[in-house]
Every structure is written in structure tokens, then in C-alpha cells.
Amino acid sequence: MELRAIVDVLRRWWWLVAIPTLVAGVATLPALPALSASSGGYGSVLHFSAAQQSTDALPADSGLEDVWLASELAVHAIAAWVRTESFRRELDVAPGVESGDTAALVIASDNHRSIGQLFLNHPDAQSLMRIATAAADVLQNTSRNYFPQFAEGSAAVSLLDAPTISPAPVPLGQRLAPLLRVALGLVAGLILVMIAHTFDPALRTREDLEMLGLPVLAALPRK
């Protein structure tokens, strides 16, 4: 079908495209206020460094490089520990954390050389603040229960910043959902146009007659 013919079809059946697109747009409007900055929940990031409190386990001839390597390994171990169930259990019983606070908690971590990062995400800002404060205390005081290599004392964990809460970004899929609904309405309208044009019994143009094999003797111009 030529471009001109496609344009003619769309001009003839434009309302079939408009109706489902408008319906999808109207149905999307109530969901738009939910796409606020806080609809993605709230997040908190704790940056920390760690090292053994005692260097007696290091070789006597070790230098500063070995101390930094031990610190990097300690950060790596703690960053892995915070993703385990044992760390979550410590948060559950930590002072200040209320029952059920950690049910919706999402925990992630990362480490870059000797700096660890603990990522916390929660739907409620107040619950997350309680959890973040408790997490800082757990990091600093309970590592000896899970790492025998720290000997008699916990690792010396230093927080590089105080716990802060900020709105987490809305997930990309949730942000694009309204546009996808409108796009589906548009596609549905185009499909309706194709169906209507295919089953339309009316003969409107010279080409319609020629497609039926009927000869066209003359055409009257439009006034």
C-alpha cells in the first residue's frame, strides 16, 4: 500500500486510533501521582573501613603494605557478611529496631579496595533510619562473633559518614509503565483501523474499483 493510501485510511478511520489511545491515557492518569520520588522507597548508604585491632598476627617483618592488605581483606569479608542471614538476625535483635522493621529491608554491599559500602533500602523512612543506626552499631561491635581470625576482639570498623536517608529512585519499569500503556492503546487503535479497512464494504476510490477488476470509464472531480 502506498504512503498516500495509508494516510487516506488513517484520515478516514482516525477515531478508531484516538479512542483506545485516549482510554489508555485516562486510565493511566490515576497512577501518575504515585510516581513520586518516594514511591521507589528510601535508601541509605554506609561507607566504612575496617582492620584488625591487633597486628600481632602479622609477620614481624611485615610493613605498611601488609597492614593495608589486611585492612582490604577485612573490608571484603565484612562486605560479604552483611549479605547473609546472620547479619539480618543481628539487625532484628539490635536495640532500637522494632518488630517487623526488617521484613521489607533490602540489603546490598560492595567494596572498593579498603572502603566498604552497605546499601539499605526500605519503603518506610523512619524504619530505615532505625535500621541504619542499628547496622552501624552491629558492624562495629559484633564482627568477632562471625570472624575467628579477628581473635579476641572485633574488627576495628570506622564509619566514614553518619547514616542518612534519601528517597530511592523510582524503578525504570515503573516510570515507563504509563508510556507503555498509551503505546499499547495506540497499537490497538491501529489494529482496529486495519480490521475496519479490510472489512469495509464501501467503494470510495478509483483504486477500490480497480482492485475488483472493474473498468473505470471516467472520474468526476470533487467540487
Residue 202's pLDDT is 77
Whole-number Å distance between alpha carbons of 136 and 126: 16
Q: Is 220 exposed, middle or buried (0-12, 13-18, 19+ CB in 10 A)?
A: exposed
Both 132 and 188 in one domain: the answer is no
Range of the domain at 137: 37-167
Q: What is the pLDDT of residue 131?
A: 94
CATH (domain of 96)? 3.30.70.100
Residues 50 and 78 occupy one common structural domain: yes
Closest C-alpha to 15, from 208, 183, 204, 192: 192
Q: What is the pLDDT of residues 6-15, one digit of tens each?
A: 888 888 889 9
Same structural domain for residues 17 and 49? no
For residues 160 and 52, membership in a common domain is answered with yes
Q: At 205, phi and psi to the nearest 5?
A: -130, 165
Say how many residues make up the chain: 223
Pair 81, 143 in one domain: yes
66/88 same-domain check: yes
pLDDT score at 184: 93
Residues 98 and 142 occupy one common structural domain: yes
Would you say residue 222 lies in a domain?
A: no
92 lies in the same domain as 137: yes
CA end-to-end span of the chain, whole Å?
Answer: 27
pLDDT value at residue 34: 59
Higher pLDDT, 1 or 13: 13
Q: Is the pTM of this model over 0.85?
A: no
59 and 140 in a single domain? The answer is: yes
Model confidence at 206, pLDDT cuts 50, 70, 90, reads: confident
pLDDT of 198 strictly over 70: yes
Kindly state whether residue 217 falls inside one of the protein's structural domains.
no
Q: Are residues 163 and 176 in the same domain?
A: no
Give the integer Cα–Cα distance in Å for 12 and 132: 61
